[in-house]
Amino acid sequence: QVQLQESGPGLVKPSQTLSLTCSVSGGSISRGSHYWSWIRQPAGKGLEWIGRIYISGSTNYNPSLKSRVTMSVDTSKNQFSLRLSSVTAADTAVYYCARDGEQLALQAVWGQGTLVTVSS
């Protein structure tokens, strides 16, 4: 059974770049026709889809964040990553990585999430 685990700094300074990695275990990131997504959730608020990446490197980003988001995948490490530049306090949230359904943009398997706080 595939499991996902987010990792990265829990505190990022304003204007800097947030960097997170999602490690996939229990199966190869290259197996199947899955996209791999990032979603975030500010405390007490709803869910916002950030974007997704395929093992080929093909990406889709939420237009609301597109100018600041970069995603990458490392199949040799069974990982994929998120970079969000020029962060502000509004980017403080729990960040989740997830595996999408086969060729579907729903999130079938989720990591536990990691809290990232933007503060000086």
Partner 1 sequence: DIVMTQSPDSLGVSLGERATINCKSSQSVLYSSNNKNYLAWYQQKPGQPPKLLISWASTREFGVPDRFSGSGSGTDFTLTISSLQAEDVAVYYCQQYYSIPPAFGGGTKVEIK
* Contacting positions for partner 1 (CB under 8 A): 46-49, 51, 60-64, 96, 98, 101, 104-108, 110-113
Residues 20 and 81: beta-carbon distance below 8 Å: yes
What pairs with residue 5 in β-bridges?
23
Residues 53 and 36: beta-carbon distance below 8 Å: yes
Smallest distance from partner 1 to CB 71, Å: 14
Pick 89 or 115: Cβ nearer partner 1 = 115
At position 78, the amino acid (one-letter code) is N
Smallest distance from partner 1 to CB 39, Å: 8
The pair of structure tokens assigned to 44 is: 């007490």
The pair of structure tokens assigned to 74 is: 């490392």
Smallest distance from partner 1 to CB 89, Å: 21
Pick 21 or 110: Cβ nearer partner 1 = 110
Pick 27 or 48: Cβ nearer partner 1 = 48
| Beta-sheet strands, E only, within 2-46 | 3-7, 11-12, 18-25, 34-41
Smallest distance from partner 1 to CB 99, Å: 11
